[in-house]
Amino acid sequence: MTSPAPTPESQLTEVTRTVTPAKNGNTVSLAQTFSADPEELWSALTIGSHLEVWFGRASGEAVEGGTFELPDMETRGTVLTADAPHRLLLTWEIGASSSEMELLVTPVEDAESTTADADADADADADADADAAEPAATADADSGTEAASPAGPRTRFELRHTVPADAHWATFGPAATGCGWDGALYALALHLQDPSVDLMGDLGAFAGSPEGAEFTRATADAWYEAHAASGSDKKPARKASVRTAAFYLGEEPDLS
């Protein structure tokens, strides 16, 4: 069974966004589960010829002590830890600014196994409920209807970007980092749907479209929610997200 094609709307709910304090600032985290095995996802994240069709030109080695460069983003860094195909810890350097990023790739257990374990532990009342529901289940079987089961492997990807709690954070909050990574996860989802397609032209057109602008505003709002959920005061958190969306879109922020 082929997974539905990713859309900007589906990305808003497929991605889990969190903001947590960190030793050197704040960690902005995004997590999403993909219909792919860990090795496929790892390759999409670490091989230059794969990255260039959905993320941008890349060179370097995903090995401990290796360095990398992303010329389209004027970004470079050093790999601090590499445990293929599960974890990368690296520096993210733009000009004189340096932050730390962690990429985690984790297989997701088959949902049917989890359900079977839960059923095995059910008490007598649950068994009675199952018996009562048996006629309906039998009718479904007779009609040729059966419950859908997961098709193929599923893997959870989490990106954790730890940024300084500086003036930039106070002005723009987590959306300044998060909105950009939301766009990257959307591109990654499209790439995993069909790795043969070079997405860079379409992604550029999307970024400059009304639909792309709406996606930016929506993800900035989602980061406001995550920022507020972390315990930050709602009023400055809201203003930070509005400033970020306006900056990305080349607009004047409406802080009223």
Does the bond joining 85 to the residue before it have cis omega, within 30 degrees of 0? yes
Return the pLDDT at 110: 46
Does the bond joining 150 to the residue before it have cis omega, within 30 degrees of 0? no
Q: pLDDT (tens digit, 9 = 90+) per residue, 123-172?
A: 544 454 444 444 433 334 344 444 444 568 999 999 999 999 999 999 99
Q: Which residue has the tokens 């315990």?
A: 231
Query: What are the C-alpha distances in Å from 9 to residues 134, 190, 217, 220, 226?
Result: 38, 13, 12, 14, 18
Phi then psi dihedrals of residue 154, to 5 deg: -130, 140
Counting Cα atoms < 13 Å in the Cβ hemisphere of 190 gives: 20
Q: pLDDT (tens digit, 9 = 90+) per residue, 167-197?
A: 999 999 999 999 999 999 999 999 999 999 9
Contact predicate 221/13, CB 8 Å: no
Ordered structural domains, the chain, with CATH: 8-108+151-249 (3.30.530.20)
Strand partners, 68: 60, 77
- The reported pTM is 0.84
Return the pLDDT at 24: 80
Strand partners, 92: 99
Which amino acid would we find at residue 239?
K
Confidence check: pLDDT of 253 > 80: yes
Whole-angstrom distance, CA of residue 158 vs CA of residue 124: 39
Return the pLDDT at 250: 95
Contact predicate 159/17, CB 8 Å: no
Between the CA atoms of 209, 212, 216 and 222, what dihedral angle is there, to the nearest 10 degrees?
150
Which tokens belong to 158?
């989490």
Chain centroid to CA 85: how far?
17
